[in-house]
């Protein structure tokens, strides 16, 4: 059985930060793997044209793979494109392909352009129920480093935003723009959306800079910031090239333990 309680309803997280390289994909992959490891049913939706989350989780995503692109643009069902992660039981993945790069523009002229992911997810939940499949506990949507229509679709589909913040110079730069966008989404498209979780990534406790960033983030986000910080770790960086999460790549590493702790904190906050 589960040591941790299942959420009362599926918790849907958008993992977003308009900066690249801050740990969005790494955190999506490893938090999802950590939650699946604890027995939860988890879905990752890759909506970054780079498809890094798909790659890291060992999911094929060559140009001819049916993907989130076909769901958003051609009304394919999520059930038709979802794949089981070979590395982690209980984790399934909706892959992204390079076609998604064009979706940002193609979406503009489509009906309900901001709601397409939300509708696809709702339909998928009903589909799973009709198939007698267990309810999903957690969904993580890995966003591109931009605030275009793909990210808007993710914000509309989610209840929670998880913002990874890299413990580096300029960590908070541009964050107010992200928060403004989230505020706009709350006002016009998704009133339940909230920034529930801030995750500090690539933390190096030996530097003054890192602790400065931590206290600055705590000043702004006292409630939201997780107390588990993700350390800078070679194991975390290496794992994707073996198409493994760091949890299965090196379970006793500091990086794996940090993601397991962060996942447990996220679980406890729901109840």
- Where do contacts with ligand ADP occur on this chain (CB under 6 A)? 20-26, 52, 145, 201-202, 230, 232-233, 236-237, 255
Of residues 154, 143, 145, the one with CA closest to residue 117:
154
Cα 226 to chain center, whole Å?
A: 16
| Beta carbon nearer to Mg ion, 77 or 146 | 146
- Contact call for residues 85 and 91 (beta carbons, < 8 A): yes
We find the least distance from the C-beta atom of residue 81 to ligand ADP, in angstroms, to be 21
If the CB atoms of residues 90 and 240 are measured against ligand ADP, the closer one turns out to be 240
Using the rule CB under 5 A, which residue among 24, 61, 128, 229 binds Mg ion? 24
Q: What is the dihedral of CA 111, 117, 118, 122, to 10 degrees?
A: 110
Q: How far is the CB of 213 from ligand ADP (least distance, A)?
A: 14
> Between 44 and 214, whose beta carbon lies closer to Mg ion?
44
# residues contacting Mg ion (CB under 5 A): 3
Of the pair 56, 225, the CB lying nearest Mg ion is at 56
Cβ proximity to ligand ADP, 125 vs 161, nearer residue: 161
> What is the DSSP code string of 125-179?
HHHHHHTTPPPPSEEEEE--SS-SHHHHHHHHH-SEEEEEEESSTTTTTTHHHHH
Alpha-carbon span 234 to 256, nearest angstrom: 11
CA distance 164 to 202: 10
Contact between 14 and Mg ion by CB under 5 A: the answer reads: no
21 binds, among ligand ADP, Mg ion, none (CB under 5 to 8 A by kind): ligand ADP
Nearest to 146 by CA among 25, 15, 55, 16: 16
Chain residue at closest Cβ approach to Mg ion: 25
In terms of CB distance, is 7 or 145 closer to ligand ADP?
Answer: 145
Q: Name which of Mg ion, ligand ADP, none residue 26 binds, using a CB cut-off of 5 to 8 Å depending on partner kind.
A: ligand ADP
Alpha helices for 10-75 (secondary structure H): 24-37, 52-56, 68-74
In the complex, the smallest distance separating the C-beta of residue 112 from ligand ADP, rounded to whole angstroms, is: 27
Residue 25 contacts Mg ion per CB under 5 A:
yes
Which positions lie near Mg ion, rule CB under 5 A? 24-25, 52
């Amino acid at each position: 059985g589960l040591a941790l309680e299942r959420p009362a309803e599926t918790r849907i997280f958008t993992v977003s930060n308009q900066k690249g390289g801050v740990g969005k994909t790494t955190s999506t992959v490893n938090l999802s793997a950590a939650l699946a490891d604890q027995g939860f049913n988890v879905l990752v939706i890759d909506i970054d044209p780079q498809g890094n989350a798909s790659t890291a989780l060992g999911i094929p995503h060559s140009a001819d793979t049916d993907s989130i692109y076909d769901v958003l643009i051609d009304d394919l069902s999520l059930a038709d494109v979802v794949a089981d992660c070979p590395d982690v039981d209980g984790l399934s993945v909706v892959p992204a392909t390079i076609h998604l790069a064009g979706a940002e523009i193609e979406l503009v002229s489509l009906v309900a352009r901001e709601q397409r992911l939300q509708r696809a997810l709702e339909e998928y939940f009903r589909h799973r129920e009709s198939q007698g499949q267990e309810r999903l506990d957690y969904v993580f949507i890995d966003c591109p480093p931009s605030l275009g229509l793909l990210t808007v679709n993710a914000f509309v589909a989610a209840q929670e935003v998880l913002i990874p913040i890299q413990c580096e110079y300029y960590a908070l730069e541009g964050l107010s723009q992200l928060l403004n966008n989230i505020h706009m989404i709350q006002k016009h498209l998704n009133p339940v959306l909230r920034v529930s979780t801030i995750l500090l990534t690539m933390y190096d406790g030996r530097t003054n800079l890192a602790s400065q960033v931590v206290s600055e983030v705590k000043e702004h986000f006292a409630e939201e910031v997780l107390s588990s910080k993700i350390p800078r770790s070679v194991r975390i960086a290496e794992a994707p090239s073996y198409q493994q999460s760091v949890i299965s790549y090196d379970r006793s590493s500091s990086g794996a333990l940090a993601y397991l702790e962060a996942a447990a904190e996220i679980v406890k906050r729901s109840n």
